[in-house]
Amino acid sequence: MAELSERTLALAGLAQALAQVRRIADTGQANASVLQTALDSVFRIDASSPSAVYGGIAQLRPGLMLAQDYFSSRVKDEHLPRLGLAVLQLERRFVQDGAMTEKVLSGIRAQADNAQRLGSAHPDVIAALGTLYADTLSHLRPRVLVQGNPHYLGQPGVVAEVRAVLLAAVRSAVLWRQLGGSYWDFVLRKRAMVDSIDARLD
């Protein structure tokens, strides 16, 4: 069951990133530590373990609680599961497009030094990641449609941040799939997922 346990971390990373997307789109503000965890994960392409992608399991507590709510049918934001499904569908299209996958990896590596020097949440790094998402993943269908406050979604800096965190969400979706994740997790393995998440939260 170790793989299932690790898979829950990737789902927690996905949920945590998308909750941040929703928060940024609604309020124009991110939670700084959660934003950092999401954007750091984008640059940890060759991490030694799923938990290392996020800087440790403790960094995923908000996402684990969101996943726990989902699998226990206690969803507080009905937009979040729909957004999650859209990103999982996008991930399928993305990994099947070799040229785009390479372009995204190259774009991430091109920003790695800046992220190391300035921090992954620096405005320059966020702008570059946002542009990378706009130039690549945003052209795939189905498009991931983010609802929020038009006042904030009209600001380039907020849009860049939303796109950068969507890139982090796709990174988690890729990891989930690499760990054997499939839609059966949501249908046939709900009880096992809840048990795994509960164990992580304890």
pTM for this prediction = 0.96
Q: For the chain, what percent of residues have pLDDT higher than 90?
A: 89
Identify the pLDDT of residue 3: 83
Structure tokens at 35: 């934003």
Torsion of CA 10, 6, 45, 55, to 10 degrees: 80
Tell me: the pLDDT tens digits for 121-178?
999 999 999 999 999 999 998 899 999 999 999 999 999 999 999 999 999 999 999 9
